Amino acid sequence: MWPRSLMVYAGLTLAALSATPAAAQDQAQSAASTQSLTKPLHRFDVHLDYQQPKAGVEAWTTTLRYERPYDLGDGRKLALRADLPLPVNNDNVARDFRGGVGDLLLQATLSRQFAGDNGYGVALRMIVPTATDEAFGGGRWRLLPTVGAQFGLPAISNGSFFQPVLRYQFDIAGDPARRHHSDLQFAPTLNLALDRGWYVTFFPSTDIRYNFIQREWFVPFNIDIGRQWTPTIVTSLELGVPIYREENPIYLFKLEGRLTVLF
């Protein structure tokens, strides 16, 4: 059932991407901003993520995300976000597919935007061990402080930007039998706002990582292609494949479809 659901969602996403939007240039700018650290949007997202974390294991995760920004004045905003993952995978001895609730993610981001689409942001992300099974979460409380800056690229198009983001993950408590976390995560995000509501983002996720415990690098290529086809609806499809990996890669393959509702 889940593989078919993934294919149906991907098909619907691609169909939405090819639909004709109502207002071309305004939508291109709005759609591009859904990737922006410094321009958070009031939004609700449904993510359907398919990954092959290791040989013989497949994972499908539906994530419900809600983000609400608050205007603090003088270009500053505070954005609060919560993600609830609902995973299904066969990461068990019998290789049976089982589902449940994953680890809750909470995040607060303080950002400031300047003229010319420039700005910066700092965030603190917390991952709470709420998973209903060991296969669905890490079992430990984790913190991920984050910093990033945005540089507008008006020479390319209005809404295009370059945005390097750096994040460090470490655990502070939880099940002592579960593995510890200490890794550096990086994303050299390049967002290109195109005509007719399209946008293309290279390295949209902080999947480039160095694991300090295992002393291993993981470097993938990620691309996200999306389109805003009404003033409130954005769809996108992200693909991730490893360029360089060692013995313990984050994933062997990743495909993620997203439906975003803007308020």
At 240-261, the pLDDT tens digits run 999 999 999 999 999 999 999 9
Question: CA 209 to CA 248: how far, in whole Å?
Answer: 11
Q: Hey, where are the domains in the chain?
A: 2-262
- Range in 50-54, 108-112, 169-173 with the lowest mean pLDDT: 50-54
Q: Which residue has the higher pLDDT, 131 or 34?
A: 131
Question: CA 98 to CA 136: how far, in whole Å?
Answer: 9
Q: What is the b/e burial string over 37-51, where b = at least 16 CB atoms within 10 angstroms of the residue's CB?
A: bbbbbebebebbbbb
148 pLDDT tier (thresholds 50, 70, 90): very high
Residue partners of 65: CB distance under 8 A and separation at least 6: 43, 44, 45, 46, 47, 81, 82, 83, 84
Q: What pLDDT does 33 receive?
A: 58
Region 7-20 average pLDDT: 43
Across the chain, mean pLDDT equals: 88
Q: What pLDDT does 21 receive?
A: 39
pLDDT in tens, 71-80: 999 999 999 9
Q: What pLDDT does 92 receive?
A: 86
CATH architecture of the domain formed by 2-262: Beta Barrel (2.40)
pLDDT in tens, 199-220: 999 999 999 999 999 999 999 9
pTM for the predicted model, two decimal places: 0.85
Backbone angles phi, psi at 11, to 5 degrees: -65, -45
pLDDT in tens, 85-143: 999 999 888 889 999 999 999 999 999 999 878 999 999 999 999 999 998 999 999 99
Closest to 183 in 3D by CA, of 152, 155, 207, 153: 207
Closest to 199 in 3D by CA, of 150, 238, 165: 238
Q: What pLDDT does 167 receive?
A: 97
Region 55-63 average pLDDT: 92
